[in-house]
Amino acid sequence: MGLLRLKMPPKFQLLALLAFAIAMIFLENQIQKLEESRGKLERAIARHEVREIEQRHIQDGAKGALVEEDDLVVIYNRVPKTASTSFTNIAYDLCNKNHYHVLHINTSKNNPVMSLQDQVRFVKNVTLWKEMKPAFYHGHVSFLDFTKFGVKKKPIYINVIRDPIERLVSYYYFLRFGDDYRPGLRRRKQGDKKTFDECVAAGGSDCAPEKLWLQIPFFCGHYSECWNIGSKWALEQAKYNLVNEYMLVGVTEELEDFVMMLEAALPRFFKGATELYRTGKKSHLRKTSEKKPPTKESIARLQQSDIWKMENEFYEFALEQFQYVRAHAVREKDGELYLLTQNFFYEKIYPKTT
């Protein structure tokens, strides 16, 4: 090569180098294309193998999968005045079509804390009542840790929470005027015409900051400290339970998104829920009557309390978590939300099937 280079004119040497460089670039491109093709082929083979495995086991596993799905239990320990009736009605409307049972947990005087013996009874019912599975339980009951009772398979917890002042205002007027769900039912404070603002100005007990303390203890559970108003331990325990014990916690202000994600995650129960929420007559069924928005002055007075600060911290924590989950589950296009498709697959499966 050195001898040729000596005999070749510089012009031809340059052309030879250029041709060599072009040839190397071409070869590199071809190698890269081959690598990409090999990668695509490996992924295609992996998908084919997964399909073969699924096809081979579908008959053997169908019964087991069906039994597993039919053993599901969902508990919605609903917080009062968070659009819980609107959401629960969706579950009732879908139960026949999706073949599951809905059971209301009706506690005496709506007490959210069960006695120890009732906790044991409830855990046994939920776990062993096979005739009622799959089941959707709902009621105004605080969170109950099933693992304390030796249960291996825990139920799936879900919930919805609301801006704490909005929730209190709604509850205040509900006790006096009821709602459009059962308008003829006499309420506990019926006849009291005092507005929420007048109550706050007068320092009334029904609008006191202490009445805000509800969503934290509902998530905290059946520990005594959960119900000590203003407990920082209760706040932290509620946060822990929300993240570790609940599959999904939505917010009243974004209820449709909550329904959409539940349908994607639990189609056994919620298939068709999004469409029903958007078009059904019961999606906004329960509306508190005679409710008047509070003034800025009333809101400011409540926001001065440490109790509001803690309940609002919990609400903001739940909202941030919900929006984080939603950001990884849905996208918006032309003003409409749509669910993301499956974004993972399996490859490099060994040993190879024959």
Mean pLDDT on 272-292: 74
Share of the chain above pLDDT 70, in %: 84
Mean pLDDT on 301-315: 98
Active site residues: 138, 140
> In the structure, what pLDDT confidence band is assigned to residue 191 with cuts at 50, 70 and 90?
low
Q: What's the chain's average pLDDT?
A: 86
CA nearest neighbour of 95 among 283, 272, 278: 272
pLDDT at 110: 87
In angstroms, the Cα distances linking 74 to 135, 208, 210, 268 are 6, 34, 31, 11
pLDDT at 241: 98
Q: pLDDT: is 267 or 21 the higher one?
A: 267
CA 224, 226, 230, 234 dihedral sign is positive
| pLDDT greater than 90 at residue 177 | no
Kind of pairing between the strands at 336-339 and 156-161: unpaired
> In the structure, what pLDDT confidence band is assigned to residue 187 with cuts at 50, 70 and 90?
very low
Task: Convert the pLDDT of each residue in 205-215 to its tens digit.
Answer: 999 999 999 99
pTM metric for this prediction: 0.79
The DSSP string of 211-239 is GGTTHHHHHH-SSGGGGSTT-HHHHHHHH
Q: How far apart are CA 297 and CA 200, in angstroms?
A: 9
Task: Convert the pLDDT of each residue in 311-348 to its tens digit.
Answer: 999 999 999 999 999 999 988 777 677 788 888 888 88
Q: Is the Cβ–Cβ distance between 57 and 150 less than 8 Å?
A: no
Q: pLDDT: is 216 or 30 the higher one?
A: 216
Task: Convert the pLDDT of each residue in 60-76 to its tens digit.
Answer: 554 554 557 889 999 99
pLDDT at 180: 52
Facing residues of 339 across strands? 330
For domain 71-339, say whether CATH 3.40.50.300 is its number: yes
* Weakest mean pLDDT among 11-25, 41-55, 62-76: 41-55
Helix or strand (DSSP H, E) at 136: strand 135-138
Task: Convert the pLDDT of each residue in 113-125 to its tens digit.
Answer: 999 999 999 999 9
> In the structure, what pLDDT confidence band is assigned to residue 353 with cuts at 50, 70 and 90?
confident
- Helix 255-265 × helix 84-98 angle, to 10°: 30
Query: Where do the domains of the chain lie?
Result: 71-339
Q: How far apart are CA 171 and CA 175, in angstroms?
A: 6
Q: Is the Cβ–Cβ distance between 207 and 297 less than 8 Å?
A: no
In angstroms, the Cα distances linking 124 to 100, 111, 117, 321 are 19, 20, 11, 31
pLDDT at 192: 74
Longest dimension (CA), the chain: 114
Mean pLDDT on 85-104: 96
Name residue 288's amino acid.
T
